[in-house]
């Protein structure tokens, strides 16, 4: 069941590792919460292409490791460049989306589009 749900919402793309994502909806919005600890928001790109949300970025740890300032004993958050592609499961207004970075979490919010029923007249011939 878990793999079926993953196929519904997450688009498998070639990646070097991606951040963890929570996806939920409210009555008005679709919200993505993305874990991006230690990543400068200036190094993050968020794009929407058709029904896909694309989050790309890079961690800039070059200065610390190049200077010999630190020596990693364990590196579990070792993603350098990342790309995460996620299917947007409902119709949203992508142009009205916004993103807020706070305490290592990027919250991306899109207003949901309201569906409407269009009645088609039937002509008898």
Each domain of the chain, given as residue ranges in start order, spans: 2-111
> CATH number for the 2-111 domain, one of 2.60.34.10, 3.30.930.10, 1.10.3720.10, 2.60.40.790?
2.60.40.790
pLDDT of the residue at 2: 47
Point out the least confidently predicted range of 46-55, 57-66, 73-82, 93-102.
57-66
Q: How confident is the model at residue 14 (pLDDT cuts 50, 70, 90)?
A: very low
Residue 84 has pLDDT above 80, yes or no: yes
d(CA 90, CA 99): 18
Residue 109 has pLDDT above 90, yes or no: yes
Q: How confident is the model at residue 66 (pLDDT cuts 50, 70, 90)?
A: low
pLDDT of the residue at 77: 66
Any idea what DSSP says for residue 113?
P
d(CA 74, CA 79): 13
- The two tokens of residue 43 are 């190094």
Average pLDDT over residues 74-93: 85
Q: What is the mean pLDDT of the chain?
A: 83
Any idea what DSSP says for residue 9?
H
Q: Is the model more confident about 16 or about 80?
A: 80
Q: Give the phi and the psi of residue 86 in degrees, each rounded to 5.
A: -130, 135
């Amino acid at each position: 069941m878990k793999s079926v749900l993953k196929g519904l919402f997450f688009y498998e793309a070639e990646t070097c590792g991606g951040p963890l994502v929570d996806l939920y909806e409210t009555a008005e919005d679709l919200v993505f919460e993305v874990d991006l600890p230690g990543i400068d928001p200036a190094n993050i790109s968020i794009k929407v292409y058709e029904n896909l949300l694309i989050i790309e970025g890079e961690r800039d740890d070059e200065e610390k490791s190049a200077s010999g300032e630190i020596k990693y004993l364990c590196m579990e958050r070792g993603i350098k460049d990342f790309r995460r592609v996620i299917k947007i499961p409902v119709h949203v207004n992508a142009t009205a989306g916004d993103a807020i970075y706070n305490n290592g979490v990027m919250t991306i919010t899109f207003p949901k589009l309201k569906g409407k029923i269009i009645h088609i007249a039937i002509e008898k011939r």
